[in-house]
């Protein structure tokens, strides 16, 4: 389980520096086999990670990138509401 934590820490550090990463990039760079699980773990730890759709300027294809962001007021309010329930 230490390996997963190390991989998650590496991914979190990359996102904190402003990088946007695809699932393939996360797998290739950090050896993550299950990208969704690592992202889910980081979200559980409090990171606001978003999956953004991008369009390639090269060939017009769409792809998805993970990025660290700031939650909106409505998201924060929903979280507080959920904690009260």
pLDDT value for 12: 95
Q: Where are the alpha helices (DSSP H) in the chain?
A: 2-16, 23-30, 35-44, 73-84
CATH topology of domain 2-84: Arc Repressor Mutant, subunit A (1.10.10)
pLDDT digits (tens, 9 = 90+) for 1-33: 455 568 999 999 999 999 999 999 999 999 999
pLDDT value for 16: 95
Assign 55 to helix, strand or coil: strand
The rounded distance, in Å, linking the Cα atoms of 25 and 23 is 5
How do the domains of the chain map onto residue ranges? 2-84
Residue 20 · residue 67 · CB < 8 Å: yes
pTM listed for this prediction: 0.79
């Amino acid at each position: 389980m230490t390996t997963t934590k190390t991989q998650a820490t590496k991914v979190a550090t990359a996102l904190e520096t402003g990088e946007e990463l695809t699932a393939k990039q996360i797998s290739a760079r950090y050896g993550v086999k299950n990208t969704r699980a690592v992202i889910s773990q980081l979200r559980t730890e409090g990171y606001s990670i978003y999956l953004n759709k991008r369009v390639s300027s090269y060939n017009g294809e769409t792809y998805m990138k993970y990025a660290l962001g700031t939650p909106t007021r409505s998201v924060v309010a929903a979280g507080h509401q959920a904690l009260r329930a």
